[in-house]
């Protein structure tokens, strides 16, 4: 390689480095290294949002909750219908129960990925 080719290659590699690092950071929680990779552990208690069950629709796999702020989704407190990731999540709750839950956007819908009765 001549000196001009070596210099050009060095400049291109230096310019590409910040983009590669940004991609690593942007995808830090995805894949085999993310928090849900191995055993689908429950989120930390601090990450859970409190709510009150207002309505349950087991056939549709939906629950209506009056909930506090869902911080990871930048969602203000409100009452809304949410999907559940697994319909079996609805078996352990009934209208009037206080719950703690974690929600994520899945296929364009806010979906509960973990839910437990509040103690």
- Average pLDDT per run of 10 along the chain, which is 119 residues long? 57 50 44 41 70 97 97 96 96 96 94 93
The reply to whether 52 falls in a domain is yes
| Domain count along the chain | 2
List the CATH number of the domain containing 68.
Answer: 2.40.50.320
Same domain, 22 and 61: no
For the whole prediction, is pTM greater than 0.85? no
- What pLDDT sits at residue 69? 96
Same domain, 29 and 80: no
Q: Shortest CA distance to 100 belongs to which of 86, 116, 82?
A: 116
Same domain, 57 and 84: yes
Q: In Å, how far are 65, 114, 116 from 87, measured between CA atoms?
A: 15, 11, 14
The reply to whether 38 falls in a domain is no
Same domain, 26 and 69: no
| Domain region containing 28 | 3-33
């Amino acid at each position: 390689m001549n000196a001009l080719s070596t210099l050009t290659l060095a400049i291109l590699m230096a310019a590409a480095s910040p983009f590669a690092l940004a991609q690593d950071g942007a995808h830090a929680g995805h894949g085999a290294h993310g928090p849900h990779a191995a055993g689908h552990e429950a989120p930390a208690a601090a990450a859970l949002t409190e709510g009150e069950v207002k309505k349950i629709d087991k056939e549709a796999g939906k629950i209506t909750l009056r909930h506090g702020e869902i911080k990871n989704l930048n969602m203000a407190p409100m009452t809304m219908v949410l999907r559940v990731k697994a319909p079996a999540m609805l078996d352990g709750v009934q209208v009037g129960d206080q719950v703690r839950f974690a929600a994520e956007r899945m296929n364009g819908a806010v979906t509960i990925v973990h839910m437990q009765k509040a103690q």
